[in-house]
């Protein structure tokens, strides 16, 4: 389909020179941030926020005077939640910081408010999730036990059988529990009668499939269209046991529910780890082989794995010795130990003995028997004698002149706490591709979540959406239309390594797990909760590398952009997805803040020079589609995403250089939105559950927007309105269009084309501009909608004269 404004695509903004250099200095951890933040002065700004590995993080409020103070805070590289509230007196943002980082912010002059989420909250969510899973398991055990005592008990039980009509369709929905459903993946067969007094089987059969959540079998379920209202059904298990139940009539639901009666939803019962998310989409695809497939994206992550490490030698930086295994922790690194022994005798030399994985350093002593080995000397000796096992270095670039303190044998450790069921290998990243025609010929929609590891609700929104699309296909006409028309890609976790780390090691993990810190910086074990690339800052358009604000060059910053654009496998995977030429719409799911946003997402400082704004027509389409999506969200429990939190990222949040939405929009021409779901990363389950349901409403509505776009053959219509103008001899001209559409015009009597002047928005968040032209000017114009339909079948690239023509004269009377 022709793009309405072809010149827009693949635009690359030149690297800003002066402004870009200034930004890079601001973002550098080694450079003190200039200026004065809200609330006070800063005498000596710390180089970077230090996040000790033994501290968990909390979400705290930070009060700022104005946007400049926010830009400055962002430039420190502090780890920010997606939460920016503009109040009458300033701006309140949420920062994710440990006690040490909070103290550093206070020293920098920032005013800290309430703590909104603390480590105990995350621990509580994990406990809640484990209790839910344990409850499901216990329920399964009880059910299995109830079958055991009597050989006559059936191993299958019907939970419910509901009949309803949907439009002209008749539908039977069945849920049943099978004693072996935890381990056996078989579907169950349901046989129907065709009314009271008829034979079981006379109404036909249908199958129902397993509903598994967090790896635990819950029950079998499914719905199918039927030709007669059944009175009874019989379910037969693979062992031959049977259960019989009467069918009940499901209450009709109001006509104004676009999901229709019997629409199935509510498919998640707890938070899901990345391993569980991927298992879930595999199960879904296996249940619907004609409608879905799981696609392994081309780049594996660097893996939920780390080198085994330790920092020895004392508390002062000068006497510290950092030791890393060469092997990954799980591949032998965790078996290594290091001892710094006081020989207990005078005039001994520094020696290193390696026995298997045990490294013993005997420290040098003077004539009095006192230890004299410095950190630098121990590092050199370790690298010389144990260099096939470990790499040693002084602490964060220190010269290492301090004498080390003896340390008993200490094992190196990768500090990773996930169970062995979480792979330590480079991890494949998976998407589920949904649609009847998955050959690239249909309009594509992409949804992806968990670029940020600690955001646990957004992946659930993608799972709930995928389940709704697949499990309603058989009996819901609207769902069928979506899957028959669209090519839908859903990637529930872009950053599985960080996701696993967030569940098992550090709940506040935002970034990937990859350690890009050099040994002269924060490569040691004590910085391990600060490593990783912010996967939503590593993309190609308007990035830090192009001179834009809101990303950091520091390997420990919350918004570290990585060593170069698309340096990370997580990011290359998303780029690969966006390259599917048919993808026209995307949703990047994050939390939190209840925002709904699109490009531009970045500006350069100090003058806030924004990435190009969408054209009026594009902006109109963004707003029009957004109102539909937000209405669908509101339908769930009346949550209104406010207009103040809807719009371009850089208007309503803050600059985020190199974010994915901007790459999708500027480089690939995809209408790219961003959700910020809910009010916290890890809300209590009841709230997480509600957020999942309400934002899945919005994501399904995006599919409907895409389908309507695909089916849009309606040509826009436009009119010109002329009104008086204060300037002598001039009049004011505005164009009005029947739908979101671009207007191209000429004022010199020439033929309007796509290279003619584009009628523009009057300014940020305003409507169309008003042109001032000499009275009597000949105006030629045409309009084109976002689907590429041109008004009046005019061919802008042809020779026809069937464009709109009028003179700019005031209407009479
Ligand atoms: Zn996020």
pLDDT at 276 over 80: yes
Is 93:84 a contact under the CB 8 Å cutoff? Answer: yes
C-alpha 644 to ligand 1 mean position (Å): 19
What local confidence, expressed as pLDDT, does residue 420 receive?
94
Average pLDDT over residues 241-269: 78
For the chain, helix, strand, coil in percent to 5 are: 25, 30, 45
Cα of 128 to ligand 1 centre, how many Å?
A: 23
Does the structure show a pLDDT above 50 at 14? Answer: no
Distance, in Å, from the CA atom of 731 to the CA atom of 743, rounded to the nearest integer, reads 19
DSSP, res 159? E
Q: Answer yes or no: are the C-beta atoms of 562 and 648 closer than 8 Å.
A: no
Residue 765 is classified by DSSP as: T
* Distance from residue 429's CA to the centre of ligand 1 (Å): 18
Q: Ligand 1 centroid to 671 CA: how many Å? A: 19
Gap between the Cα atoms of 533 and 537, Å rounded = 8
User: How far does residue 534's CA lie from ligand 1's centre (Å)?
Assistant: 9
Cα 367 to Cα 118: distance, rounded to the nearest angstrom: 53
Output the CA 621–ligand 1 centroid distance in Å: 25
The answer, yes or no, to whether residue 274 has pLDDT greater than 50, is yes
Q: How far is the CA of 705 from the centre of ligand 1 (A)?
A: 24
Residue 651 has pLDDT above 90, yes or no: no
255 C-alpha to center of ligand 1: Å?
37
pLDDT at 329: 98
Distance (Å, whole) CA 749 – CA 110? 59
Sole residue written with tokens 């719905």:
223
> 15 pLDDT exceeds 90?
no
Q: What is the pLDDT of residue 256?
A: 52
CA-nearest of 479, 478, 468, 470 to 290 is: 470
Please give the mean pLDDT across all residues of the chain.
89
At residue 685, the pLDDT reads: 97
Longest dimension (CA), the chain: 112
Residue 347: predicted pLDDT: 98
Q: CB under 8 Å to 791, separation ≥6 — which residues?
A: 715, 716, 717, 718, 741, 782, 783, 784, 804
Under 8 Å between Cβ of 534 and 59: no
Residue 16 has pLDDT above 70, yes or no: no
Distance 361 CA to ligand 1 centre (A): 45
Q: How far is the CA of 292 from the centre of ligand 1 (A)?
A: 27
Q: State what percent of residues in the chain have pLDDT above 90.
A: 69
pLDDT in tens, 194-215: 999 999 999 999 999 998 888 8
* Other Cβ atoms closer than 10 A to 11: 12
Give 498 Cα–ligand 1 centroid separation in angstroms.
12
Q: Where are the alpha helices (DSSP H) in 638-684?
A: 649-652, 660-662
**Ligand 1 mean position, distance from CA 450 (Å):** 7
Cis peptide before 186 (omega within 30 of 0): no
Digit-coded pLDDT (tens) for 104-149: 999 999 999 999 999 999 999 999 999 999 999 998 888 888 876 6
Expressed in angstroms and rounded, the spacing between residue 89 Cα and the centre of ligand 1 is 26
Q: How far is the CA of 545 from the centre of ligand 1 (A)?
A: 21
**CA 458 – ligand 1 centroid, Å:** 9
Instruction: Quote the pLDDT of residue 766.
Output: 64
Judged against a pLDDT cut of 50, whether residue 10 lies above it is answered with no
The number of angstroms, rounded, from the C-alpha of 572 to the middle of its chain's C-alpha atoms is 15
- Name the residue with higher pLDDT: 769 or 551: 551
* Total residues belonging to the chain: 813
User: How far apart are the CA of 535 and the centre of ligand 1, in A?
Assistant: 9
Residue 742 Cα to ligand 1 middle (Å): 32
- Other C-beta atoms within 10 Å of 35: how many? 15
**254 Cα: distance to centroid of ligand 1 (angstroms):** 36
State how far the Cα of 790 lies from the Cα of 782, in Å rounded to an integer.
Answer: 7
Tokens of residue 194, six digits: 């065709």
- Rounded to the nearest angstrom, the distance between the alpha carbon of 547 and the centre of ligand 1 is 22
Structure tokens at 114: 């309430």
User: What is the 141 CA–ligand 1 centroid distance (Å)?
Assistant: 39
pLDDT of 75:
86
Cis peptide before 258 (omega within 30 of 0): no
Q: pLDDT value at position 42?
A: 33
Measured in angstroms, how far is the CA atom of residue 571 from the centroid of ligand 1? 14
H or E segment at 624?
A: helix 616-637
676 Cα: distance to centroid of ligand 1 (angstroms):
7
Give the CA count within 13 Å in the CB-facing half-sphere of 748. 4
How many angstroms is it from 84 CA to the middle of ligand 1? Answer: 13
Per the model's pLDDT, the better-predicted residue between 34 and 794 turns out to be: 794
pLDDT beyond 80 at 787:
no
Buried b (16+ CB within 10 A) or exposed e, 780-793: bbbbbbbbebbbee
Q: What is the pLDDT of residues 502-544, one digit of tens each?
A: 999 999 999 999 999 999 999 999 999 999 999 999 999 999 9
Q: Looking at residue 738, what is its pLDDT?
A: 86
Q: How close is the Cα of 724 to the center of ligand 1, in Å?
A: 49
How is residue 110 annotated by DSSP?
Answer: P
Nearest Cα to Cα of residue 613 among 17, 71, 11: 11
Q: What is the pLDDT of residues 347-377, one digit of tens each?
A: 999 999 999 999 999 999 999 999 999 999 9
Query: What percent of the chain stands above pLDDT 70?
Result: 91
State the pLDDT at residue 812.
81
Distance 685 CA to ligand 1 centre (A): 19
How far away, in angstroms, is 677 Cα from ligand 1 center?
A: 9
Distance 318 CA to ligand 1 centre (A): 38
Q: With contact defined as beta carbons under 8 Å apart, do 31 and 690 qualify?
A: no
Rounded to the nearest angstrom, the distance between the alpha carbon of 452 and the centre of ligand 1 is: 5
How many Å lie between the centroid of ligand 1 and the Cα of residue 681?
Answer: 9
Rounded distance from Cα 448 to ligand 1 centre (Å): 11
Ligand 1 centroid distance, CA of 451 (Å): 6
**Tokens found for residue 348:** 């001994």
749 CA from centroid of ligand 1 (Å):
50
Report d(CA 574, CA 579) in Å as an integer. 9
DSSP annotation of 383 reads H
DSSP 8-state symbol, 79? -
Torsion of CA 735, 738, 743, 749, to 10 degrees: -60
If you measure from the C-alpha of residue 591 to the centroid of ligand 1, how many angstroms do you get, rounded to a whole number?
5
Distance 465 CA to ligand 1 centre (A): 19
Yes or no: say if 427 and 472 are a contact pair by the CB < 8 Å rule: no
CB neighbours of 766 closer than 8 A, spacing ≥ 6? none
Ligand 1 centroid–CA 417 distance in Å is: 24
With 80 as the cut, is the pLDDT of residue 488 above it? yes
**Distance in Å, CA 510 to ligand 1 centroid:** 8
Q: What confidence score (pLDDT) does residue 21 get? A: 29
Kindly give the distance from the C-alpha atom of residue 82 to the centroid of ligand 1, in angstroms, as a whole number. 6
523 and 323 Cβ atoms separated by less than 8 Å: no
Alpha carbon distance, N-terminus to C-terminus of the chain: 44
Distance 118 CA to ligand 1 centre (A): 18
Tell me: the pLDDT tens digits for 64-103? Answer: 999 899 989 988 889 988 888 888 889 999 999 999 999 9
CA of 512 to the centre of ligand 1 (A): 12
Tell me what the mean pLDDT of segment 542-548 comes to: 97
Tens digits of per-residue pLDDT, 451-477?
999 999 999 999 999 999 999 998 888
On the question of pLDDT at 34 being above 60, the answer is no
CA of 86 to the centre of ligand 1 (A): 19
pLDDT exceeds cutoff 50 at 648:
yes
Residue 308 has pLDDT above 80, yes or no: yes
Q: Which class for 776: exposed (0-12), middle (13-18), buried (19 or more C-beta within 10 A)?
A: exposed
Q: What is the pLDDT of residues 373-395, one digit of tens each?
A: 999 999 999 999 999 999 999 99
Q: Which are the contacts of 271, defined by CB distance < 8 A and separation ≥ 6? A: 125, 129, 214, 456, 460, 503, 682, 685, 688
Residue 699 CA to residue 638 CA, distance in Å, equals: 16
Burial 575-584 (b: 16+ CB within 10 A, else e): bebbebeebb
CA of 686 to the centre of ligand 1 (A): 21
- The secondary structure element, H or E, covering residue 805 is strand 804-807
Give the distance (Å) from ligand 1 centre to CA of residue 536: 8
669 within 8 A of 578, measured Cβ to Cβ: no
Q: Return the bridge partners of 674, or none.
A: 588, 597
Structure tokens at 790: 């041109």
Distance 501 CA to ligand 1 centre (A): 16
């Amino acid at each position: 389909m022709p793009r309405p404004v072809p010149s827009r695509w693949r635009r690359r903004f030149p690297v800003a020179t002066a402004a870009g250099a200034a930004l890079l200095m601001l973002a550098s951890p080694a450079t003190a941030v200039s200026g004065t933040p809200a609330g006070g002065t800063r005498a000596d700004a710390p180089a970077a926020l230090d996040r000790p590995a033994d501290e968990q993080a909390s979400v705290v409020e930070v009060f700022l005077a104005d946007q400049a103070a926010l830009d400055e805070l962002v430039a420190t590289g502090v780890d920010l939640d997606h939460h920016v509230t503009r109040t009458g007196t300033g701006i309140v943002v949420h920062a994710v910081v440990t006690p040490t980082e909070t103290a550093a912010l206070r020293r920098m002059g920032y005013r800290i408010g309430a703590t909104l989420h603390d480590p105990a909250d995350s621990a509580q969510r994990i406990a809640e999730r484990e209790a839910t899973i344990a409850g499901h398991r216990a329920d399964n055990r009880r059910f299995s036990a109830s079958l055991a005592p009597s050989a006559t008990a059936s191993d299958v039980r019907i939970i419910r059988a509901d009949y309803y009509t949907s439009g002209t369709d008749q539908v039977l929905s069945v849920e049943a529990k099978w004693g072996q459903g935890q381990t056996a993946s078989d579907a169950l067969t349901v046989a129907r009668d065709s009314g009271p007094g008829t034979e079981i089987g006379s109404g036909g059969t249908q199958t129902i499939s397993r509903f598994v959540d967090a790896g635990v079998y819950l029950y079998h379920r499914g719905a199918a269209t039927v030709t007669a209202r059944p009175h009874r059904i019989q379910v037969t298990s693979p062992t031959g046991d049977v259960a019989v139940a009467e069918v009940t009539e499901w209450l009709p639901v109001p006509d104004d529910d676009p999901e229709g009666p019997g629409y199935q939803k509510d498919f998640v019962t707890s938070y899901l780890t990345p391993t569980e998310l991927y298992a879930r989409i595999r199960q879904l695809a296996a249940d619907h082989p004609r409608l879905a497939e799981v696609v392994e994206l081309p780049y594996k992550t660097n893996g939920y794995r780390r080198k085994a490490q330790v920092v020895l030698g004392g508390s002062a930086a000068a006497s510290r010795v950092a030791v890393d295994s060469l092997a990954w922790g799980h591949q032998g690194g965790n078996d290594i130990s290091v001892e710094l022994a006081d020989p207990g005798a005078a005039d001994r030399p520094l020696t290193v003995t390696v026995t298997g994985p045990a490294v013993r350093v005997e420290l040098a002593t003077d004539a009095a028997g006192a230890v004299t080995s410095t950190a630098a000397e121990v590092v050199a000796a370790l690298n010389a004698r144990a260099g096939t096992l470990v790499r040693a270095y002084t602490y964060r670039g220190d010269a290492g002149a301090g004498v080390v303190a003896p340390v008993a044998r200490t094992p190196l450790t990768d500090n990773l706490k996930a169970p062995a069921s979480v792979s330590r290998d480079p991890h494949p990243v998976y998407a589920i591709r949904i649609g009847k025609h998955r050959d690239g010929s249909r309009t594509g929609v992409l949804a992806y979540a968990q670029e940020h590891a600690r955001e646990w609700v957004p992946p659930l929104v993608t799972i709930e959406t995928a389940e709704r699309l697949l499990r309603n296909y058989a009996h819901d006409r609207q769902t069928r239309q979506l899957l028959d028309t669209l090519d839908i890609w859903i990637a529930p976790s872009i950053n599985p390594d960080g996701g696993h780390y967030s569940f098992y090691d550090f709940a506040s993990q935002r970034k990937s797990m990859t350690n890009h810190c050099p040994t002269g910086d924060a490569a040691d074990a004590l910085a391990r909760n600060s490593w990783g690339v912010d996967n939503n800052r590593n993309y190609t358009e308007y990035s830090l590398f192009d001179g834009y604000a809101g990303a950091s060059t520091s390997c420990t910053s919350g918004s570290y952009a990585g060593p170069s654009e698309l340096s990370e496998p997580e990011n290359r995977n998303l780029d690969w997805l966006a390259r599917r030429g048919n993808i026209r719409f995307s949703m990047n799911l994050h939390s939190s803040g209840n925002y709904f946003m699109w490009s531009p997402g970045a500006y350069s400082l100090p003058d806030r020079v924004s990435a190009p704004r969408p054209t009026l027509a594009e902006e109109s389409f963004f707003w029009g589609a957004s109102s539909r999506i937000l209405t669908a969200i509101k339908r769930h429990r009346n949550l209104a995403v406010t207009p103040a939190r809807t719009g371009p990222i850089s208007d309503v949040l803050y600059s985020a250089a190199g974010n994915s939405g901007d790459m999708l929009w500027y480089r690939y021409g995809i209408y790219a939105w961003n959700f910020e779901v809910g009010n916290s990363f890890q809300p209590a389950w009841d709230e997480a559950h509600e957020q999942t349901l309400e934002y899945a409403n919005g994501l399904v509505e995006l599919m409907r927007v895409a389908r309507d776009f695909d089916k849009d053959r309606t040509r826009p219509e436009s009119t010109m309105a002329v009104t008086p103008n204060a300037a002598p001899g001039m009049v004011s001209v505005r164009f009005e269009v029947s739908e979101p559409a671009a207007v191209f015009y000429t004022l010199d009597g020439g033929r309007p084309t796509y290279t003619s002047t584009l009628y523009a928005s009057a300014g940020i968040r305003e409507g169309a501009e008003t042109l001032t032209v000499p009275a009597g000017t000949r105006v030629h114009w045409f309009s084109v909608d976002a689907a590429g339909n041109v008004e009046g079948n005019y061919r802008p690239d042809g020779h026809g004269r069937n464009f709109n023509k009028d003179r700019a004269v005031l209407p009479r009377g």
